[in-house]
């Protein structure tokens, strides 16, 4: 399969940065369109306890996430790559899959830290493992071992 459009789910973490450059290298080799997605999300506990997300907190999270997205785009452009940035608000798995469908990508790239214990991943849930069930296309996981 030829990957023509690649979506990188980016959160600014060390794993995300590793995935950022792997996706860019792959896109360069394949001459594929690159899309960078950052998702602003609120802790589920806040929504459950308050019943709504206060507008000020949401705006603060959107600004923080936009800064992460801008940093990712700058990292790519500094290395000579181009990418289209996308900011989404919501639950990460849903937003990654929605963006992948909307953009029509062939591949989703995301980072993963293997040093996190299985218990920690189970407790907090893993976007990477959850997305396997819902992604509309292939997934590449860039591993980071600390």
* pLDDT at 6 exceeding the cut of 60: yes
Report the mean per-residue pLDDT for the chain.
83
Q: How many domains does the chain have?
A: 1
Q: Is residue 96 part of a domain?
A: no
Q: Is residue 2 part of a domain?
A: no
The overall pTM is greater than 0.75 = yes
Higher pLDDT, 82 or 130: 82
For residue 111, the enclosing domain spans 7-15+24-90+101-144
**Are the C-beta atoms of residues 111 and 15 closer than 8 Å to each other?**
yes
Q: What is the pLDDT of residues 25-49, one digit of tens each?
A: 999 999 999 999 999 986 655 554 5
Q: Is residue 1 part of a domain?
A: no
Give me the pLDDT at residue 146, please: 55
Q: Is residue 34 part of a domain?
A: yes
Q: What is the pLDDT of residues 115-146, one digit of tens each?
A: 555 444 443 455 666 788 889 999 988 876 65
Q: Is residue 106 part of a domain?
A: yes
Q: Is residue 113 part of a domain?
A: yes
Report the pLDDT averaged over residues 97-106: 96
Round to the nearest angstrom and report the end-to-end CA distance of the chain. 32
- What are the angstrom distances between the C-alpha of 95 and each of 27, 66, 78, 92, 124? 22, 15, 27, 5, 18
Least confident piece of the model among 1-5, 75-79, 100-104, 120-124: 120-124
Tokens of 92: 């990460």
Q: What is the CATH number of the domain that holds 77?
A: 3.40.50.620
Between CA 76 and CA 126 the distance in angstroms is: 26
Q: Is residue 115 part of a domain?
A: yes
Q: Is residue 54 part of a domain?
A: yes
Helix residue ranges per DSSP H, 1-142: 14-30, 44-50, 55-78, 92-103, 118-124, 127-134
């Amino acid at each position: 399969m030829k990957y023509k459009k690649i979506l990188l789910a980016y959160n600014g973490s060390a794993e995300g940065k590793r995935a950022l450059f792997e996706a860019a290298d792959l896109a360069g080799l394949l001459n594929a369109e690159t899309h960078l997605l950052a998702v602003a999300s609120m802790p589920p506990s806040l929504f459950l306890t308050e019943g709504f997300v206060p507008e000020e907190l949401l705006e603060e999270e959107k600004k923080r996430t936009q800064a992460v997205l801008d940093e990712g785009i700058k990292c790519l452009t500094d290395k000579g790559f181009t990418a289209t940035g996308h900011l989404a608000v919501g639950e990460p798995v849903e937003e990654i899959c929605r963006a992948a469908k909307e953009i029509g990508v062939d591949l989703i790239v995301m980072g993963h830290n293997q040093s996190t214990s299985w218990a920690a991943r189970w407790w907090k849930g893993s976007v990477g493992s959850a997305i396997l069930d819902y992604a509309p296309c292939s997934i590449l996981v860039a591993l980071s071992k600390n």
